[in-house]
Structure 1
Amino acid sequence: MTSTDGSTARTGTATAPRPERPGRIRRFSRAERLVHGATGWLMLICVVTAACLYLAPLAQLVGRRHLLVTVHEWSGILLPLPFLLGLASPAFRADLRRLNRFAEYDRQWLRAARKRLTRPGARPAGKFNAGQKLYAGWIAGAVLVMLATGLLMWFTGLLPMISRTSAIFVHDVLAWAIGAVLIGHMRKAYRDPEARLGMRTGFVERDWARTWHRHWPVEDPPAARGADSGTAGRER
């Protein structure tokens, strides 16, 4: 699933990896971008089908309720699959460790965010800022709860001590919360074209990384750099 920077000559022998793009550094591997894209599409299908099932005007406009229920159920069940497949990628696992670490500069980022400070340097961050780390942890937990409550709604006798009504209530309330958080996530991404470019191509401007993620080179251990290409650190 991972990508490499190397190429193969016509003789079948591997050549040296191509040099980094001038002025740009690798931020995400192909595997990470595939995981993000697949998860995003599955999440979008879940949200759209849920809206068509829950909101009467959309339900009347679209119709075919049984088909929508089936698509919604299976897209929800498949939602964790890209994450599980992504665990085969060393780069993906390395970024999961980064997302799971909270440093002192992340607390500074949160304090600056509360004060609405937006100037360069006011919000120090590593490869991922504190907001991205909180979002990743929250959405991962929310997906697990949605999956569990969805299964309880589907298989009513799975846990007899939990009523279907309770599962529906939690599922619906959390669905609204996920919708609000996803809108916030997309707004943040829309305001940062370089971050979107990094997810789309895998590369970002070196100056952008130094300005908004200045702790990134410091926090990346040599073993984690270039994990997808099998080469030593290329993030500096």
Structure 2
Amino acid sequence: MQAQTPVEAASARVRRFTPAQRWVHRATATLMAVCVLTAGCLYLPFLAELVGRRALMATVHEWSGLLLPAPLLLGLASRALRADVTRLNRYGPHDRRWLRSALRRGSDRPAGKFNAGQKLYAAWLAGAVLVMAGTGLLMWFTHLAPLLWRTGATFVHDWLALALIVVIAGHVWRAYGDPEARRGMRTGTVDAAWARREHPLWEPEEEPERRVG
């Protein structure tokens, strides 16, 4: 095999996400953004006065919340997405090392395709969405449960929504600080050097793509 030139080596890219995976991420992010924005219009007086049409905001909020799991469920038809879901649910000794190093702000952070922080974020988000959907249904269909249950559901829903906003803001902030990670989600490929540095235990299933220029 012919040796790569320095320019070719620097330009090597590897496939990280398929179109189906990126579609699921974008659709879920869009629905989550709609949920957060409409919730703001329902709970914050200055936004409620600015937007008005409270009934419409409530309807959009309810349906966008119910549809949140839909992109993932539809995306499970993709073998690549199913493989990533499996990766996100598997933890190994390297994940414990990653978490210890992250807590100590160290540089020894071994990771496969997803690091331990991303796995915890995905698990927490999935659980939070299910709880939000359940409590939201109790608040929406008032005949489903007695008043005491609905009061508890409202309390959990409101405080978990606040926690979701904080956690999602942290996710966005971390993504903003890593342009290559964002490029991977936008285009599907990442720089090979970045992959080796940030995810040294990850072995892409596909052959690297070579780009020059």
Task: Please say if 1:41 is aligned against 2:37.
Answer: no
Q: Offset at 1:40? A: 0.1
Separation in structure 2 between the aligned mates of residue 147 and residue 173 of structure 1, nearest angstrom: 14
CA contact (8 A) 2:13 2:208 kept: no
Residue number in structure 2 paired with 1:183: 169
Q: Deviations over 1:52-111 (max 9, x none)?
A: 111111111111101100110010011110010011000000000000011111111101
Structure 2 residue ranges without an equivalent (≥5): 1-10
Which residue of 23, 26, 40 corresponds with 1:51? Answer: 40
Which residue of 135, 149, 157 corresponds with 1:149? Answer: 135
Q: Offset at 1:161? A: 8.1
What is the correspondence of 1:85-96 to structure 2 with a 5 Å cutoff? Answer: 85-96=74-85
The verdict on how the C-alpha distance between 1:235 and 1:148 changes in structure 2, with shifts beyond 3 A counting, is: farther
Residue number in structure 1 paired with 2:126: 140
Could you say what the CA RMSD is over the residues aligned between the two structures, in angstroms?
A: 1.5
Task: Please say if 1:204 is aligned against 2:177.
Answer: no
Residue number in structure 2 paired with 1:10: none
Q: Which amino acid aligns with 2:93?
A: E
Q: Deviations over 1:106-145 (max 9, x none)?
A: 111101110112x4xx211100000000000000000000
Q: Alignment identity in percent?
A: 62
Separation in structure 2 between the aligned mates of residue 234 and residue 112 of structure 1, nearest angstrom: 31
Equivalent pairs, count:
199
Give the match's secondary structure for 2:14. Answer: strand
Give the match's secondary structure for 2:132. Answer: helix
When you count helix as a share of all residues, which structure comes out higher? 2
Separation in structure 2 between the aligned mates of residue 235 and residue 216 of structure 1, nearest angstrom: 13
Structure 1 residue ranges without an equivalent (≥5): 1-21, 226-232
Task: Please say if 1:70 is aligned against 2:43.
Answer: no
Q: Which amino acid aligns with 1:234?
A: E
Structure with larger RCO (C-alpha < 8 A, sep 6+): 2
Normalised to the residue count of structure 2, the TM-score between the two structures is 0.90
Give the match's secondary structure for 2:85. Answer: helix
Residue number in structure 2 paired with 1:112: 101
